[in-house]
Amino acid sequence: MLVTLRQIVQEVSTATHLDDALDIIVRRVKDALPIDACAVYLTDVESNHYVLMAADGFNPASIGGVRIDRQEGLLGLVGERHELITVPDAAAHPRYHPSSATGEERYHSFLGVPLIHYHQVLGVLVAWKRAPGQFDKDELTFFVTIAAQLAKAIHDAAAVDEVSRMLSGEVQGDAFIQGIQMAAGVAIGTAALLDPLASLESIPDRPTQDIDAEETSFRSAVAAVHEELRASSERLAADLPGEVRALFDVYAMLLGSDGLVSDALARIRAGNWAPGAWRETIADHAKVFEQMEDPYLRVGAEDIRAIGQRVLVQLQAEAKESRQYPQQCILVGDTVSITEIAAVPVKQLAGIVCMRGSALSHTAVMARALGIPAVVSLAPLPIGRLDGCEMVIDGDQGRLYIEPSHAVRAAFRRLIGEAQARSERLMALRDLPAVTPDGFRLPLYANIGLVSDTVAARDSGAEGVGLYRTEYHFLLREAFPLEDEQYQIYREVLEAFTPRPVTLRTLDAGGDKILPYFPVVEDNPFLGCRGIRFSLDHPEIFLIQLRAMLRANAGLNNLQVLFPMISRVGELDEALGLLARAYRELLEEGRAANKLRVGVMIEVPSAVFLATALAERVDFLSVGTNDLTQYLLAVDRNNAQVTTPYDSLHPAVLNAIHQVIKGAHLRGKPVSVCGELAGDPAGALLLLGMGVDALSMSPASLARVKLVIRSFTLQRARSLLDEALGMEDGFAIHRLLNGAIEEN
């Protein structure tokens, strides 16, 4: 059973169109079970019907034409109850309403299961038997299991079909792909893939200007791989057994067959550039192997893709052109790293689209810092076909429009104009303090990660830097930066804000911020060697950074240092010991250095309960709500499938922050919040009520938060906090706060 399940899911996943995927489902499920008919009905939300989309055992003419009200019949019962329904004799059931068009009245035993994805019923998978009677246990188990796995495949295939219709101009009106908001705002621009030649799947289609040149390039790449295989086989002949060396012969045979090369050449001559033609060819040939019953033959698909990647590398080596980005660039990729964002000139970057990630990933954090709209797609997109397409990103609703209509573009241009006008009105608050109507002042600082960000931070009216992410400089290099280089960077930031305070966080590598020149391979990097753990494991690197910071503070005295990911008092003591050692060494060397204020980031649950003890050892605490939320709720903040449970206004998160503030204040130490919650007007309102001493956020969020602070009295904020802490659901807290802000 397990092998059959895997085969069906694999075939459906590789289908190029939704109709093909549905046909595979009904045919393969009917073959796998002793049933007489199998059908898939999909949900039409607008008309509130189930539509027959594929069937094996029904009248073929009924497919696409039968529509059943979602509240009627056995299908309606399955959808209402969200569970498997079996009926031994359908004709005797009160909900039985057969469709004469399908011919289903000749069947008696009914089995239906909902196709559910992201809490939504996409449709119903149905099986029928002619004879009345029960389905046995194995049949029910198979049916439930296959339905659970196929729901996502159907969702993804439908999304790809929708994009294809958008690209071909078949879709009219305001059709969009639903995703998840990463960073607010709207943008219109041209899609640019991160690295179109990185893998076969990510290669775009591009019309070729010179067919002969593309053909020559392709033939050259094939010849180069042939030579590479021959040389590798000869070089390793003495060290590998014959059956392993034979793999080289298999690859050479595949590459030498007429099928692969001639098919690719035909596609090039039809107008596609060589990499795109090769991608299509490899996909078609691999699919043939994947659909074979024999598991040994199916392995051939892996060989096809492996040889495809080798040729692609050769084509990539021959690509001489330097990367050019569109003027209004929308960066598109499976994931988009902060280094890839930094590669695009800031004035050209209009938006970001990812296949994976969430609102609290570091990609999202950087997008918000730059004021760039960003969306995570909830379905895989045919990335290879998107390069150069016009797109509209709605970061407020988490929506993506591909090749939008004139009306959609016009509507979003109006929204962009309104947003710019709103931003200009908010900028009038830039030089005003964040003071409540009853006179309580709450300092607002900026979160930045590059020296170039200092201009935006100052222009936003920030009273200093509450979080400078020093790891960005490490990530953008090809080796660890040495002391003098770090000193110059930190000094420049400190001088830009003096005498206002600047908080430098020590290197926070790990998790999804992997240093390209020092990768740490871990099964679970977010629970591994990251933050202060990495620095303490490598004091030779940590001391260089601490020395650079102490030197940069000389004569300015506006530097604060922040230790990330502290989970034990012992870690803090060790870090403080290394800081003291770095200071002593500098004095012994006769170098100018000034002591600095020290803080600890509260971002793991253990630190919440140690807040009082930690506050006794440092000058201030800073709550990082992004990671604190992730660890408290056991939710991967980079996983779009669990985005809904990720909520910084979850009651547990709010109570943890409140506990930290009260514990630190008992020791007379201030607490700031530098996570994304601080930049959310609703979150800032609650933090104000908690008595937080400062907030730090992306420069793009500062004006909105300042407006809220200036609009609510401290007493009103405390009242809202008391009401929120009495709630048990984060969604209710959102409604409470957003309602209060709108009313105000």
**Residues classed as catalytic:** 362, 674
Integer Cα distance of 704 and 601 in angstroms: 25
**3-class secondary-structure state, position 10:** helix
Phi, psi (degrees; rounded to nearest 5) at 692: -60, 150
Whether the Cβ atoms of residue 228 and residue 274 lie closer than 8 Å to each other: no
Integer Cα distance of 741 and 162 in angstroms: 37
The residue with tokens 């993506």 is: 400
Burial class (CB in 10 A: 0-12, 13-18, 19+), 590: exposed
Integer Cα distance of 673 and 687 in angstroms: 8
Burial class (CB in 10 A: 0-12, 13-18, 19+), 526: middle
Written in H, E and C, the secondary structure of 370-435 is HCCCEEEECCCCCHHHCCCCEEEEECCCCEEEECCCHHHHHHHHHHHHHHHHHHHHHHHHCCCCCE
Instruction: Please name which of 130, 138, 113, 5 lies closest in space to residue 57, comparing C-alpha atoms.
Output: 130
In one letter, which amino acid is 500? R
**Does a cis peptide bond (omega within 30 degrees of 0) precede residue 681?**
no
Whether the Cβ atoms of residue 42 and residue 154 lie closer than 8 Å to each other: yes
Angstrom distances, CA of residue 723 to CA of 184, 461, 638, 664, 719: 28, 32, 31, 23, 6
Helices (H) and strands (E) in the chain, counts: 27, 21
The residue with tokens 């024999």 is: 294
